[in-house]
């Protein structure tokens, strides 16, 4: 066991390290940045949690003796009643939930279309860029629907993007340097969202609870059977949470671009359309219109739904249920 006492370790980086059972006594962790970490079973006593921002899986977390998980869930449901519909119990409920997901993402993509192309490849606060988020959602659909429900052992597209902490897996792409066009990413999204809609349209009460056949070969999820219901709940959770983070990051990107969210226009500027050879006018571009610039779309940080890191720690047969999330 290594012991660090009376040491100045400010600014140290711990990456892919095993600190299970580590003990911190009289340690100054102010300003620490913890991402993709497993704090299961952690005990904090005499801790000063001031101006702390937590986002992640919240289950059986007690603060000063109070289980805050149900409180967080209730508050998030109160803020957006549609969130409750992301926990459907029957085929009709899954259909309604997917209708909501498609509608919300249409609005988010339309909003993103106001931004200059380069901004949609930019990270906000170290999180995934807008384009990377869409690529991750393609990966999530490939993993939980095409691989797990439909049985394709290797459903991956080269633009698929797993979560950062996922170990390198033979055959599973992970190209963080790619900067695909809007058309390429949205084409993948339309295809994968269409697949989810088809699966949901064919749901019955009986097949919602059937176990999927374990996929052969390396990939994600691991080769276990999962209830179809749980696979689809993972997808709903991924879609819901990543769009929420996308909207949050779009607020920051909009500020960088000098855009007004209220008007959708560029503050103090005007943008010409129709080949840019006519008079300059301020417009809100519509995705797919002839006037729309070529933009990529959609962001987020790695899953804070049932976080991929958390799903990766699941035991065989454990259900990847949607969970509570704390965020602004």
Q: How far is CA 289 from CA 117, 275, 281, in A?
A: 16, 12, 16
Reading the chain (328 residues) residue by residue, the pLDDT tens digits are 788 888 888 988 898 889 898 888 888 989 998 988 889 989 888 888 898 888 888 889 999 999 999 999 999 999 999 999 999 999 999 999 999 999 999 999 999 988 888 899 999 988 999 999 999 999 999 999 999 999 999 999 999 999 988 888 999 999 999 999 878 998 999 999 999 999 999 999 999 999 999 988 889 998 889 999 999 999 999 999 999 999 999 999 988 877 655 544 443 332 222 232 333 222 232 333 333 332 223 333 333 333 433 444 343 334 444 333 333 3
């249409």: which residue's tokens? 106
One-character DSSP codes across 206-264: HHHSSBPPPPPSS-SS-S---BHHHHHHHHHHHHHHHHHHHHHHHHHHHHHHTB-TTT-
Query: Do 85 and 96 touch, CB atoms closer than 8 A?
Result: yes
Write down the pLDDT at residue 261.
55
Q: What is the pTM of this model?
A: 0.73
Strand stretches in the chain, DSSP E: 62-63, 66-67
Q: How many whole angstroms separate alpha carbon 102 and alpha carbon 206?
A: 25
User: Tokens for 227?
Assistant: 């209830």
Tell how far CA 163 is from the center of its chain. Answer: 9
Q: Is the dihedral of CA 138, 140, 144, 148 positive or negative?
A: positive
The CATH number of the structural domain formed by 82-258+296-312 is: 1.20.120.450
CB 245: neighbour CB atoms within 10 A? 23
Residue spans per domain, the chain: 82-258+296-312
Please list the residues that pair with 227 across neighbouring strands: 211
């Amino acid at each position: 066991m290594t012991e660090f006492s009376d040491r100045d370790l400010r600014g140290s980086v711990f990456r892919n390290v095993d600190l299970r059972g580590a003990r911190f006594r009289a340690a100054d962790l102010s300003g620490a940045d913890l991402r993709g970490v497993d704090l299961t079973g952690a005990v904090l006593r005499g801790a000063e949690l001031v101006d702390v921002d937590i986002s992640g899986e919240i289950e059986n977390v007690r603060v000063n003796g109070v289980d805050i998980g149900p409180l967080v869930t209730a508050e998030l449901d109160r803020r957006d009643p549609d969130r409750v519909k992301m926990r459907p119990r029957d085929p009709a409920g899954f259909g309604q939930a997917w209708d909501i997901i498609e509608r919300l993402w249409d609005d988010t993509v339309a909003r993103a279309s106001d931004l200059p192309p380069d901004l949609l490849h930019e990270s906000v606060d170290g999180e995934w860029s807008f384009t990377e988020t869409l690529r991750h959602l393609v990966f999530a659909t490939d993993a939980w629907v095409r691989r797990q429900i439909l049985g394709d052992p290797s459903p991956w597209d080269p633009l698929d993007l797993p979560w950062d902490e996922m170990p390198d897996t033979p055959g599973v792409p992970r190209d963080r340097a790619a900067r695909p066009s809007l058309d390429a990413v949205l084409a993948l999204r339309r295809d994968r969202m269409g697949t989810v809609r088809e699966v949901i349209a064919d749901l019955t009460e009986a097949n919602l609870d059937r176990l999927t056949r374990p996929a052969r070969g390396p990939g994600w999820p691991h080769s276990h059977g999962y209830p179809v219901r749980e696979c689809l709940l993972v997808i709903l959770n991924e879609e819901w949470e990543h769009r929420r983070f996308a909207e949050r990051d779009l607020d920051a990107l909009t500020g960088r671009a000098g855009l007004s969210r209220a008007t959708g226009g560029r503050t103090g500027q005007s943008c010409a359309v129709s080949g840019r050879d006519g008079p300059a006018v301020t417009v809100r571009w519509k995705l797919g219109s002839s006037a729309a610039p070529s933009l990529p779309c959609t962001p987020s940080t790695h899953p804070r739904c049932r976080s991929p890191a958390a799903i990766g720690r699941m035991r065989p047969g454990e259900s990847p249920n949607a969970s509570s999330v704390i965020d602004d």
